[in-house]
Homo-oligomer: A and B are copies of this chain.
Amino acid sequence: MLEHKNVLCSSTKLQLKSFNIFAVMIKKYTIRDIAEMAGVSKGTVDRVIHKRGKVSETAAKKVTTILKEIDFKPNLIARNLKTNKTYHICVLLPDPIKDPYWIPCVKGVNEVVLELSHFGIKIETSFFDPTKSKSFTAANLVIQNNAPDAVLLAPLFFKEARIVMQDYENLGIIVSTFNNDIESKAVKSFIGQDLFQSGRVAAKLLHSVSKTGDLAIVHINEQYENAVFMQEKERGFKSFFNELVSFNYSVLQCKLNQEDFELVLTAFLKDHPNLTSIFVTTSKTYLVADFLEKNNHKTISLVGYDLLNENVTHLKTGSIDFLIHQNPKEQTYIGLKFLAEHLLFEKEIPKELLLPIDIVNSENATPFMRR
C-alpha cells in the first residue's frame, strides 16, 4: 500500500492534497447542530436563516456568527421535501412548425421535465408565430395572465420584447431569455451565443477555405425577424476582414426573400463574377445551397447556420462547407434548468452565459444532431 503510493510523483501529491479539501466534504452540519451550538431552538435558527424576523438581536447575532463560521449550507433536499411547493414555469418559443430551427428546443424542455420530475416544477410551453411580432406580444399577455413564477423565452422581436419585459418585472415574474440578447435589466439571465463572434468564426472559416476573391453576406427574410441580430453577425464578419492585413477583396451584402430568391441571387452573382465565398446569416442556408447546386456554381464556398436536415444534407454533398451550430436545445435546457434550480434551491443564475460556437462539417455533424 505504502509502496504503491510512492510510485506517484511528489508534485502530484501536492495537487491531490489541495484537491481533497474539496472532495472530503468535511463535516455536515444540520440546523439542529447549529441550534445546540447557539443554545437556541431549531425554530430560531430557521428564522435567522430565512430572515423571518421575530428574533432577539442577541440570539440573531449568536446564530449568524456560527452560521458564518462553519459556512453552513442547509440541506436543500430536505427543504424541498418539506415545503412540497410546486413552481410554475412557462416557456415561450417560436412555433417549430413555422420554423424547424426551434424543434430541438422542445427536446431540451422535455429533458428538464424528466430530470426534475421529483421536484415540484410544472412547466408549460407555448408558441408564437416567428413572422408576426403581434403574436409574440399576445402570447406574453396570455402567460402573464397565468401568473407563473418564472418564464423562459426567445425574444425574437427586440422592441416588443423590451416592452413586455417591463410588465413581467412589474408582476414580479422572473424572466430568462435565450437565443437573442435584448440587454434589458429586467431579464434575469440570457443564454446564447456571441453573435458578433459567430460572424468572425464564419469569416475565419471562409478565409481558411479560400484566400482570394470577393465575399458576400446574405441575409434571408430579414424583414420577418428583428434585423438587430443579423447585423451583429455581419459586424463580426466584417471586423475579421478589416483586421486582415493586405486583404484586397470586397465584402459585399445581399438581401434575399423567399419569394424573389432566384431572381435576385442570379442578378447578384452576375454582378459579382469574382465572388468565391458566401456567408448566410440564418438557418435558411440550404436555400442558397440549393441554388448554387442547381446552377452549378461549384467554386463558391458556403458557410451558414444550424443543423436542419436540409442543411446537413448539403453539408454531406459538399455544397455547404461549414455550418455554425447555435445549439438551441442546450440553450433551452440550460435556461430552464437555471430557472428551476433558482426556484427550488435558490441557486444563483448568471446574468449571461455564452455557449461555445460549434463548427460543423460533414464529418462531425451526426453526434450534434443526436444529442
CB-CB under 8 A from A209, the residues of chain B are 208-209
Contact between B125 and A204 (Cβ–Cβ < 8 Å)? no
Please classify the interface of chain A as helix (H, G, I), strand (E, B), loop, or mixed, using the class held by over half of its residues. Answer: helix
Supposing A16-B127, A95-B12, A125-B16 touch, asked if A135 and B363 sit within 8 A by C-beta, the answer is: no
Distance in angstroms between the alpha carbons of A25 and B340 in the assembled complex:
15
Distance in angstroms between the alpha carbons of A283 and B113 in the assembled complex:
39
Supposing A78-B81, A363-B197, A363-B204 touch, asked if A142 and B1 sit within 8 A by C-beta, the answer is: yes
Q: State which residues 237-265 of A face B: CB under 8 Å.
A: 240
User: Does A96 sit within 8 A of B, measured CB to CB?
Assistant: yes
Digit string of A328-371 for contact with B (CB within 8 Å is 1, else 0)?
Answer: 00000000000000000000000000111111111110011001
Binds B, one of A114-122, A153-161, A172-180, A213-221: A114-122
User: Does A139 sit within 8 A of B, measured CB to CB?
Assistant: yes
**Looking across the interface, which residue of chain B has its beta carbon closest to that of A109?**
B19
**What are 24 A-B residue pairs whose CB atoms fall within 8 Å in the complex?**
A1-B142, A7-B134, A8-B127, A8-B128, A9-B95, A9-B129, A12-B106, A15-B96, A15-B127, A19-B106, A22-B110, A23-B113, A23-B125, A25-B117, A197-B364, A204-B361, A204-B363, A205-B361, A208-B321, A208-B322, A209-B209, A240-B363, A356-B368, A359-B359
Q: This chain: how many copies in the complex?
A: 2
CB-CB under 8 A from A96, the residues of chain B are 12, 15
User: Does A267 sit within 8 A of B, measured CB to CB?
Assistant: no
Q: State which residues 81-106 of A face B: CB under 8 Å.
A: 81, 95-98, 100, 103, 106
Supposing A77-B118, A95-B8, A95-B9 touch, asked if A19 and B364 sit within 8 A by C-beta, the answer is: no
Distance in angstroms between the alpha carbons of A119 and B80 in the assembled complex:
14
Question: What distance in Å separates the Cβ of A16 from its nearest Cβ neighbour in chain B?
Answer: 6
Distance in angstroms between the alpha carbons of A22 and B368 in the assembled complex:
24
> Which residue of B98, B109, B201 contacts A363 across the interface (Cβ within 8 Å)?
B201
**Looking across the interface, which residue of chain B has its beta carbon closest to that of A132?**
B7
Distance in angstroms between the alpha carbons of A332 and B82 in the assembled complex:
33
Contact between A97 and B9 (Cβ–Cβ < 8 Å)? yes
Supposing A110-B22, A364-B201 touch, asked if A4 and B138 sit within 8 A by C-beta, the answer is: yes
Interface residues on A, range: 35 or more
**Looking across the interface, which residue of chain B has its beta carbon closest to that of A18?**
B110
The 9 closest A-B pairs by CB, nearest first: A359-B359, A357-B364, A356-B367, A201-B363, A4-B138, A7-B138, A200-B363, A204-B363, A4-B142
Supposing A20-B124, A125-B16, A129-B7 touch, asked if A367 and B361 sit within 8 A by C-beta, the answer is: no
Distance in angstroms between the alpha carbons of A129 and B8 in the assembled complex:
7
Contact between A113 and B25 (Cβ–Cβ < 8 Å)? yes
Residue from A118, A122, A135, A204 having most chain B Cβ neighbours under 10 A? A118
Distance in angstroms between the alpha carbons of A234 and B43 in the assembled complex:
66
Distance in angstroms between the alpha carbons of A61 and B117 in the assembled complex:
27
User: Does A5 sit within 8 A of B, measured CB to CB?
Assistant: yes
Question: What distance in Å separates the Cβ of A295 from its nearest Cβ neighbour in chain B?
Answer: 18
Q: State which residues 1-58 of A face B: CB under 8 Å.
A: 1, 3-5, 7-9, 11-13, 15-16, 19-20, 22-25
CB-CB under 8 A from A110, the residues of chain B are 15, 19, 22
User: Does A269 sit within 8 A of B, measured CB to CB?
Assistant: no
